[in-house]
Structure 1
Amino acid sequence: MNPGPTDSGWMNEDTKRHLLAQFPAGRIGKPEDVAKVIAFLTSDDSYWLTGQTIRCEGGFLGK
């Protein structure tokens, strides 16, 4: 899984300002965003998924 930059407490304000412009969703990822994807991947609903990199990064442009 590729969660992209996620503010789990490690980001200072300068880092947040720099990254925010690279998120079309208008905000930086939160741990809850990643947790929802993990919950799905560990559920029976994800049974048919195999060998994938799931990008859950809010459209992060990564420039």
Structure 2
Amino acid sequence: MRIGEVTSEGFTFNNLDKESFVDFKECNENWIMYNKRKNNWTDDEILDFRTKSKCVGQRDICAKPLI
């Protein structure tokens, strides 16, 4: 895998001769919806979190590897 261009909107990468784009806004929306399901939030709680969150993902550094 090779990382290509990185911008404030996202980044491109090449994997097996295929170019793909990771959109940070889409990642953030997925993060918000994950937290909605996990925390059983109301619509008002989601709106509040959406105005504060710029997160595009989170890594659990204490998790045990899958392998």
Task: Tell me the TM-score normalized by structure 2.
Answer: 0.31
Bigger CA radius of gyration: 2
- Structure with greater strand share of residues: 2
Higher RCO structure, 1 or 2 (CA under 8 Å, sep 6+): 1
TM-score, normalised with respect to structure 1: 0.32
